[in-house]
């Protein structure tokens, strides 16, 4: 078992917490603060136990100097402060004298947030390539390292693996909970166990299907990824999303698990993705050449409902259609409702899927929303999580 924040005496200690504040932003505003909210428990715990709390996080990708303005953590610091009802001191640097002085002057229960760790990527990708010196530098700012950034736990970065290699380390409450939930899905899930997959890219989900298909009773497939499967099954898919190089893998899965993999029987199509798009309901053998499939149809929703109704465990990742647009939201919205109304243990994974569940108002009906898209998928694919492996084991 990995050490947790609760296994440390934090009083008077400088506690570095790696958070996941990688929130979506638009026009200088945070559009979804779920990730900030999920970090509060661990931060509060560290503060209440007398820690001097130093927060680190990445935000977006930093490729050139002008990305810095868009991806500063300043807004996150304001939002965090508001949610915590407590001052969060923001230092707009990732290292240097200003950072070191601020840390030196800290008193118990104070919180500082440093600037976006990926600002260090401008200098030879030091953060993302886990530059040894950078990890050591950040580690030297603190006494204890807590990793609570589930979204990057599958990555080998300076701000997670790098720091953990140089300090006593443990897991924050969010990461600990996430791992517990995912272990439930991987080891002895209550049956029937139904997995719902959607989203744009089938290539993102094939390894997941391969690892979970043996554990699950059914895998229901919607969204853009369904079309490579439908094409592999012999249907014409018009100009819907297709990953040609994945056709044979999809074909093989369909051959091997014909009773487990359930595909749509009807589709909402259109010639454009917009709020004023004209739509058609088509059976999957009726899709026309110039049409794109952009949502699942009513028949599919009914079929999926039958599988979901009696299930005892549900894992859902990937919207059923382009739910961001009104004409293509019905499939995703209906699935939210159907899943919410089952008495199964319900886990939702993936940034866009969580946005959808939240948008349609069903977030409180689910048992767990897993904040780390790629991280949860990597774990569910049966692969190791680098920044989890490096954390100290309980003695």
Q: Would you call 35 a catalytic residue per the annotation?
A: yes
**3-state SS class at 168:** coil
Q: Would you call 374 a catalytic residue per the annotation?
A: yes
Q: Which of 223, 238, 351, 372 touches Mg ion by CB under 5 A?
A: 351
Judge if the upstream peptide bond of residue 301 is cis by omega within 30 degrees of 0.
no
In the complex, the smallest distance separating the C-beta of residue 301 from Mg ion, rounded to whole angstroms, is 22
- Of the candidates 35, 118, 246, 260, the residue annotated as catalytic is 35
> Residue 265, Cβ neighbours under 10 Å: how many?
17
For 224, residues 6+ apart whose C-beta sits below 8 A from its C-beta are: 198, 199, 200, 201, 202, 240, 241, 293
Interaction residues for ligand ADP, span 321-340 (CB under 6 A): 321-322, 324
Q: How far apart are CA 347 and CA 70, in angstroms?
A: 32
Q: Which of 139, 144, 294, 391 touches ligand ADP by CB under 6 A?
A: 294
Q: Which of 142, 318 has the CB closer to ligand ADP?
A: 318
In the complex, the smallest distance separating the C-beta of residue 373 from Mg ion, rounded to whole angstroms, is 6
Contact between 223 and ligand ADP (CB under 6 A)? yes
Q: Which of 56, 369 has the CB closer to ligand ADP?
A: 369
**What are residue 2's phi and psi, to 5 degrees?**
-80, 145
Q: How far apart are CA 273 and CA 347, in angstroms?
A: 29
Name the token pair of 231: 């094409």
Q: Which of 34, 251 has the CB closer to Mg ion?
A: 34
Q: Would you call 302 a catalytic residue per the annotation?
A: no
Q: Would you call 349 a catalytic residue per the annotation?
A: no
Identify what 319 binds: Mg ion, ligand ADP, none; CB under 5 to 8 Å per kind: ligand ADP
Question: Which DSSP category does 349 fall into?
Answer: E
Contact between 266 and ligand ADP (CB under 6 A)? no
Burial letters for 304-320: b for 16+ Cβ neighbours within 10 Å, e otherwise?
A: bbebbeebebbbbbbbb
Contact between 352 and Mg ion (CB under 5 A)? yes
Contact residues toward ligand ADP (CB under 6 A) are 198-200, 204, 223-224, 241, 293-294, 317-319, 321-322, 324, 350-353, 373
For the annotated catalytic residues, the residue numbers are 35, 201, 351, 374
């Amino acid at each position: 078992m990995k050490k947790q924040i609760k296994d440390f005496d934090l009083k008077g200690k400088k506690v570095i917490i790696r958070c996941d504040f990688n929130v979506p932003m638009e026009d200088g505003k945070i559009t979804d603060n779920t990730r900030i909210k999920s970090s509060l428990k661990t931060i509060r715990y560290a503060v209440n136990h007398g820690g001097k709390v130093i927060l680190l996080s990445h935000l977006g990708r930093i490729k050139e100097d002008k990305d810095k303005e868009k991806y500063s953590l300043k807004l996150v610091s304001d939002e965090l402060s508001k949610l915590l009802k407590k001052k969060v001191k923001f230092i707009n640097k990732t290292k240097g004298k200003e950072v070191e002085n601020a840390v030196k002057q800290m008193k118990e229960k104070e919180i500082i947030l440093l600037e976006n760790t990926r600002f260090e990527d401008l200098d030879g990708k030091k953060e993302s390539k886990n530059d040894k010196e950078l990890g050591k530098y950040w580690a030297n700012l603190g006494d204890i390292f807590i990793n609570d950034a589930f979204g990057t736990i599958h990555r080998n970065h300076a701000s997670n693996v790098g720091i953990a290699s140089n300090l006593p380390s443990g897991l924050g409450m969010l990461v600990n909970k996430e791992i517990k939930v995912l272990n439930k899905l991987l080891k002895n899930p209550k049956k029937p166990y139904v997995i719902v997959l959607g989203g744009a890219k089938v290539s993102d989900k094939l390894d997941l299907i391969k690892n979970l298909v043996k554990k699950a009773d059914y895998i229901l497939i919607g969204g853009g990824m369904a079309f490579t499967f439908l094409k592999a099954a012999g249907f014409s898919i018009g100009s819907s999303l297709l990953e040609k190089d994945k056709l044979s893998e999809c074909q093989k899965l369909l051959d091997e698990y014909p009773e487990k993999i359930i595909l749509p029987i009807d589709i909402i199509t259109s010639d454009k993705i917009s709020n004023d798009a004209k739509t058609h309901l088509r059976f999957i053998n009726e899709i026309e050449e110039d049409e794109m499939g952009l949502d699942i149809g009513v028949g599919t929703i009914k079929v999926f409902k039958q599988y979901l109704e009696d299930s005892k465990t549900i894992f859902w990742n990937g919207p059923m259609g382009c739910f961001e647009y009104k004409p293509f939201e019905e499939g995703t919205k209906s699935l939210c409702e159907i899943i919410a109304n089952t008495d199964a243990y319900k886990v939702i994974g993936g940034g866009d899927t969580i946005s959808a569940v939240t948008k349609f108002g069903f977030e409180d009906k689910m048992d767990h929303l897993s904040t780390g898209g790629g991280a949860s998928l990597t774990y569910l694919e049966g692969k190791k999580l680098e920044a989890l492996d490096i954390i100290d084991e309980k003695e």
